[in-house]
Structure 1
Amino acid sequence: MNVINPAYATDDNDIINFGLIYRSQWVGAVGSPTTGSFFAHSKFGNIEGGISIVHDQIGDVVKDTNIFFDAAYVFPVSENTKLSLGIKAGLSFYSTDFNGFVYSDPLPDPAFAENINRVFPNFGGGAYYFSDKFYLGISAPNLLKSKHLEEGSGIVIEGSEETHFFATGGYVFDINEKIKLKPAFMTKAVSGAPLSIDITTNALYNQKFELGIGYRIDDGISGLFNIRVAESLRIGYAYDYTVSNLGRFNSGTHEIMFLFDLSKKGNGYDKSPRFF
């Protein structure tokens, strides 16, 4: 969550959370994207801090690595609720490599003749309102628009990364002593693209097994599971199938995740963690 919202708060001073996620999107499509992510965050008093590293790759041509640091301050609002306000700042390392392309003669687009290596600074912000039972968040992780390609050699070539806005929310229902149910949503808005809305429902059994289903309106359906394989380690898998026309050209999206909790005091893992 802290990848898209720097205000995300674990609200646990004793635990450092780590995560590794690998996502292979639109498997079977030529030049399909892949994403590898690492994150770590923890709370120190009223300050929540973290780091996220996200590497996106489109085929063998485009690579984009983002390294960001997060900081948030957590305010008590009432006896049971808190508000976290956070910022993130970092660098994006963007490169293209067209050396492996076999071109026709004449070259159809001179843009493909030039490799690019650029570094872009960026920053973002967010707010996160939560209790032990629910959360609501809004964020914009990249407030600066980045032009990846620009005028050169007399040719105007432009590609930019627009600001993304996110809204998230969820609520945890205790069905009984062993089962928890969490409906949630995530909305993403970006200029030039349709509004993206994800609706999910996850169930947690005995703090060990988690199953979930999701639907992205007019785009895809998904399913996930994860299991606590050790006191401090959870391993999960998710599958996303595209129901739009794009689904005819790929066999779906696969995601693998490893989530690790490290105790600062050597007291083991959090035996009753929040379900978000």
Structure 2
Amino acid sequence: MKKITLIFTLLVSLLMYGQQEPQYTQYMYNTVSVNPGYAGTRGVASIFGLYRSQWVGLDGAPKTAQFSIHSPISYRGHGLGLSIINDEIGPARDTYINASYSYKLQLDYDTWLNLGLMAGGSFLEVDYDKLNVDNPGDPQLSGKLNKFSPNVGVGAYLHSDNWYIGLSVPALLETRFYDDIQQSVAKERMHFYLIGGYVFNLSPSIQFKPATLIKAVSGAPLAVDVSANFLFNENFTIGAAYRWDAAVSGLAGFNINRNLQIGYAYDFDTNRLGNYNSGSHEIFIRYEFISSSGNRLRTPRFF
């Protein structure tokens, strides 16, 4: 039985080291979840919802649902936001709830720096009854584990009308899990996020935006995502993305009207894991409270 416990603990540890925080392909629309400095930078109240089904066909594969809302709260552009994320991997479910605040500084007539603070925590639930074990009656592998871990994060978001760059650490506190098992202890580590993008106006009706997200965490390889999207007539978006040594993706989006946008992404794994799943699907919807009086977003709709 110690062997089963050890194997389970090592598997959980590998999952936590490899993907401790949720992974997104359409990160360019979902910045507030990883950088509190982004809160309020859209210039209007913005509601965002996303669902991701990763590695379809693989038992216990990650499934992520997210809801967020953020808005400027003063004429100076300071922002406030709330993000709720539910992330499921195998028998484990992690629910993150975080509030964000950003303080806006104008550096030039068209350049701003938002400094952000994030506070909240995560609720971890592990349902041992979902495991297939040789001895189902073992009390060590039955029932549920529930753990709450408070956390704080910081972020900086520098942006202009056609470019942005951000650096953030969404969780500064490192939480230990399963420390009651002598053979192995899993620890949630700090993740460092560096994001950036630039919008090129190719013509009056076509915009092009390359973007990147780099994620670093101790104990795991550097994760690098690069993407390129085209926006046609401020209505239709199409593009592609590449996750270094992991996946290639296709992206598409549509602005139903000036308030409502939807998007879809499909990932195909380029590593050996691709032999055992049917890819990953991700869909998002964003609604923004843009009035009909003619107010427009100051920054391009790409970000």
Cα gap change, 1:243/1:167 in structure 2, threshold over 3 Å: closer, same or farther?
same
Q: Which amino acid aligns with 1:236?
A: G
- 1:50-69 equivalent positions in 2, closer than 5 A: 50-59=81-90, 61-69=91-99
Residue 235 of structure 2 corresponds to 208
Residue 48 of structure 1 corresponds to 79
Cα gap change, 1:207/1:269 in structure 2, threshold over 3 Å: closer, same or farther?
farther
Residue 250 of structure 2 corresponds to 223
Residues in 2 aligned to 1:273 and 1:215: alpha-carbon distance in whole angstroms: 25
CA deviations over 1:29-78 (Å, ceiling 9, x no partner): 1111100001111112331110100000113x111000000001010111
Residue 88 of structure 1 corresponds to 118
Residues in 1 aligned to 2:178 and 2:295: alpha-carbon distance in whole angstroms: 46
Q: Indicate the larger mover: 171-180 or 231-240.
A: 231-240
CA RMSD after TM alignment: 2.1
SS at match of 1:230: coil
CA contact (8 A) 1:262 1:268 kept: no
Residues in 2 aligned to 1:91 and 1:6: alpha-carbon distance in whole angstroms: 14
Cα gap change, 1:66/1:269 in structure 2, threshold over 3 Å: closer, same or farther?
farther
Residues in 2 aligned to 1:159 and 1:114: alpha-carbon distance in whole angstroms: 20
- 1:3-152 equivalent positions in 2, closer than 5 A: 3-13=33-43, 15-45=44-74, 46=76, 47-59=78-90, 61-105=91-135, 112-113=141-142, 115-151=144-180
CA contact (8 A) 1:36 1:54 kept: yes
CA contact (8 A) 1:127 1:138 kept: yes
CA deviations over 1:106-132 (Å, ceiling 9, x no partner): 98x975345210111001001111100
Residue 296 of structure 2 corresponds to 270
CA contact (8 A) 1:232 1:268 kept: no
TM-score, normalised with respect to structure 1: 0.91
Cα gap change, 1:105/1:87 in structure 2, threshold over 3 Å: closer, same or farther?
same
Cα gap change, 1:12/1:201 in structure 2, threshold over 3 Å: closer, same or farther?
closer
Larger fraction in strand: 1
Identity %, equivalent residues? 39
- 1:170-189 equivalent positions in 2, closer than 5 A: 170-189=197-216
Residue 261 of structure 1 corresponds to 288
SS at match of 1:7: helix
- 1:191-206 equivalent positions in 2, closer than 5 A: 191-206=218-233
Consecutive unaligned residues in structure 1, runs of 5 or more: none
Larger fraction in helix: 2
Residues in 2 aligned to 1:111 and 1:7: alpha-carbon distance in whole angstroms: 42
TM-score, normalised with respect to structure 2: 0.83
CA contact (8 A) 2:196 2:213 kept: yes
SS at match of 2:256: strand
Residues in 2 aligned to 1:148 and 1:160: alpha-carbon distance in whole angstroms: 6
Residues in 2 aligned to 1:206 and 1:272: alpha-carbon distance in whole angstroms: 17
CA contact (8 A) 2:66 2:83 kept: yes
CA deviations over 1:103-160 (Å, ceiling 9, x no partner): 21498x97534521011100100111110010011000011111232216xx555222
